[in-house]
Amino acid sequence: MKQSFDRLGGKALERLDIISPPLRSALPRRSGKFAEKEAGDGRIVDQAMSIPPRDLYVLLRDNASNDQVLGKLWAEVNTVPTWVDWGQIARGQEVFYRYGGPILTGLAYQSLLGGMGAGRVAETLTRTGGFSTKVARHRLFETFQHLLQCTRSLQSIQPGGAGHASSIRVRLLHAAVRQRIMKLAQQRPAYYDVEKWGVPINDLDCIGTIGTFSAILVWMSLPRQGIWMREQEIVDYIALFRYVGYLTGTPTDAFETPTKARVMMESLLMNEINPTETSRLLAQNIIKCLVAQPPGFASKSFLEVNSRWLNGNELCDRLGLGRPSLYYWALMAGQCFFFMAVCYIYRAIPYLDRRKIAALRNIFWQVAIENRHGLGHESIFDFKYIPDFHTITESGDESQAGIKHPGIERRNLKALVIGCGCLGVVVFLVWKVVAGFARSVVSNLKI
């Protein structure tokens, strides 16, 4: 599967490039570390905002009736597979917000950062320049936007909705990255080893990506934070991302059932996780770009302990992450206690569960999309991290000083103290009961 890929998406992109050619001036202005710069308020802005980017989804929609290839892709993405149950998809969307906090933690530190341990995939990512410290945080928010649009409402993921459209944009973006790297590799074979690493963004890579959004969270990230989904929630959540995979051109057989999804996850972990120097660089850049940044304002040590808690010390050592002190491990335990308390209590009370899901849908959107510390606007997933012979992600500095703020670590410390206090009370009460029972037994024996 390393040599197979979404051919229909690639052919459609070629047709769109003929209908609306990308500006030649877009290449240097959108490539590598010079593609974007940081605004005064911390946002990432394009240096050539005067040139509007192409919206490939709109081009596809408007030209589908006039071109056979485009019409075929448009018909495919707007044909709902027979296995799609909209009620199940809606329940899967609710699962994302029911476990919102631990899911985002798993996505950031295990799916993404831990996923950099897949050396083959890292070779594609480093050639886009999208994971330099100056732009990586912006890149993370774009991925988050796609997930939010896919889960914001049932209408959003249905044909014509924002999540449906963004999935198609991501599919065409993947085709553009693949096309560009393959073209460069044809000119200079040493630039990218297709035989060794596979076609960029191949079918196996795409299956792995959908797995990191679903299976990894269900069977690894959440349990390691003390949270287990119910069986029906697992079925619904996997079904949701099977449909997202369908829209993005990913083979979906591996997600036909939760069992198949788990088998594929375990197979990929066994065979694909092999960190390289490139993996180390990208993983460390992710940590650096998030230090002391809103909304969490987390320290480097706390970011690293999140990674170690979820991925284990062996992988994190190979990725070159630091070893935090016991204090930060205690904070992480406090975070897990907080997540467990919130998730299990709200899940047990339907009224609170509905309120929490509705609230997080708005909060996540405001923080990631509307807030000036997030994207500040909706991305159309245009091709701005463009591979080039001179575009290789470099190790960045922790120069983006964040705002000094107590942030997430103070909350976790409070949760730890409360958790220890509750545990102490329980232990005391149990001891009192056991001691009273023992005294009663001894008294009866004397009589």
360-393 confidence digits (pLDDT tens): 999 999 999 998 888 888 888 876 767 766 665 6
Give the least confident one: 114-128, 287-301, 417-431: 417-431
Coil vs helix vs strand at 252:
coil
pLDDT confidence of residue 135: 82
Task: Decide which of 2 and 398 is more confident.
Answer: 2
Average pLDDT over residues 330-337: 94
CA neighbor of 54 nearest in space, from 20, 13, 15? 20
430 pLDDT higher than 70: no
Average pLDDT over residues 98-122: 95
pLDDT confidence of residue 32: 42
Tokens of 17: 């490039």
pLDDT confidence of residue 379: 87
186 pLDDT higher than 80: yes
pLDDT confidence of residue 28: 41
pLDDT confidence of residue 428: 63
322 pLDDT higher than 60: yes
Q: Cα–Cα distance between 186 and 104 in angstroms, integer?
A: 39
Average pLDDT over residues 127-153: 89
pLDDT confidence of residue 393: 61
pLDDT confidence of residue 344: 97
| CA 357 vs CA 45, 85, 352, 407: distances in Å | 31, 21, 9, 23
Average pLDDT over residues 95-109: 96
Q: What is the DSSP letter of 53?
A: P
In this structure, the number of other CB atoms found within 10 A of the CB of residue 121 comes to 24
Average pLDDT over residues 334-363: 96
The answer to whether residues 409 and 302 touch, using CB atoms and an 8 Å cutoff, is yes
Give the least confident one: 11-20, 133-142, 219-228, 338-347: 133-142
Q: Cα–Cα distance between 225 and 336 in angstroms, integer?
A: 5
pLDDT, tens digit, 9 for 90 and up, residues 273-305: 999 999 999 999 999 999 888 888 889 999 999
- Residue % of the chain over a pLDDT of 70: 81
Task: Decide which of 444 and 285 is more confident.
Answer: 285
Across 120-124, 412-416, 421-425, the highest mean pLDDT is recorded for 120-124
185 pLDDT higher than 90: yes
- pLDDT band of 402, cuts 50, 70, 90: very low
Average pLDDT over residues 59-88: 96
Question: In whole numbers, what is the pLDDT of the chain averaged over residues?
Answer: 87
| CA 201 vs CA 91, 281, 304, 395: distances in Å | 29, 20, 28, 23
* Cα dihedral 147, 151, 157, 161 in deg (nearest 10): -90
Q: What is the DSSP letter of 312?
A: -
Give the least confident one: 101-110, 318-327, 392-401: 392-401
pLDDT confidence of residue 438: 66
Give the least confident one: 26-35, 50-59, 66-75: 26-35
pLDDT confidence of residue 377: 87
Q: Cα–Cα distance between 426 and 429 in angstroms, integer?
A: 5
In the chain, what is the greatest distance between 2 CA atoms, to the nearest angstrom?
99
| CA 198 vs CA 12, 50, 173, 201, 254: distances in Å | 21, 37, 18, 8, 19
At 118, which amino acid appears?
A
160 pLDDT higher than 80: yes
Q: How many CA atoms lie within 13 A of 142 on its CB side?
A: 21
27 pLDDT higher than 50: no
pLDDT, tens digit, 9 for 90 and up, residues 250-264: 999 999 999 999 999
pLDDT confidence of residue 136: 85
Coil vs helix vs strand at 118:
strand
Task: Decide which of 136 and 58 is more confident.
Answer: 58
CA neighbor of 315 nearest in space, from 115, 57, 53, 107? 115
pLDDT confidence of residue 407: 64
Q: Cα–Cα distance between 53 and 386 in angstroms, integer?
A: 13
